[in-house]
């Protein structure tokens, strides 16, 4: 029962607990005294991470507070979809160039309060052809 598809206290400890405890946002932003970072890092719940250049970021779409999409045009045309809850601040920080990294936490568990921001899933799609 280590990976139930619904919230449960039986699920494995999430990355959320490692990142600063219950209620902490699943992203790391720059300090007010720091300059804008050149890249931002996407960290996945399986332990992998990929960094992307801010200069490749072409578009930020916010459908609602639970879905943010980033359009990047670098070596390839990419669409990064971030789904979860309370992600409006994340979209604003990315637009301002103030995010160092954000982390996919995986399936929801009871240790994350409903009022706190959460990134449940991050998908990266390579777009091909003409749109």
Contacts with 58 (C-beta within 8 Å, 6 or more apart), sequence order: 71, 72, 73
Contacts with 8 (C-beta within 8 Å, 6 or more apart), sequence order: 1, 109, 110
User: Above 80 in pLDDT, residue 29?
Assistant: yes
- For 43-89, the pLDDT digits (tens) are 999 999 999 999 999 999 999 989 999 999 999 999 999 999 999 99
């Amino acid at each position: 029962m280590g990976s139930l598809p619904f919230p449960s206290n039986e699920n494995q400890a999430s990355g959320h607990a490692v990142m600063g405890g219950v209620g902490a946002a699943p992203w790391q932003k720059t300090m007010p005294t720091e300059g804008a970072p050149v890249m931002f890092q996407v960290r996945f719940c399986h332990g992998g991470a990929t960094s992307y250049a801010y200069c490749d970021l072409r578009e930020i779409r916010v459908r609602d507070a639970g879905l943010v999409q980033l359009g990047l045009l670098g070596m390839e045309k990419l669409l990064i979809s971030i789904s979860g809850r309370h992600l409006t601040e994340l979209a604003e920080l990315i637009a301002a160039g103030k995010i160092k990294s954000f982390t996919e936490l995986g399936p929801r568990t009871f240790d994350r309060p409903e009022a706190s921001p959460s990134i449940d899933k991050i998908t990266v799609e390579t777009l091909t052809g003409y749109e």
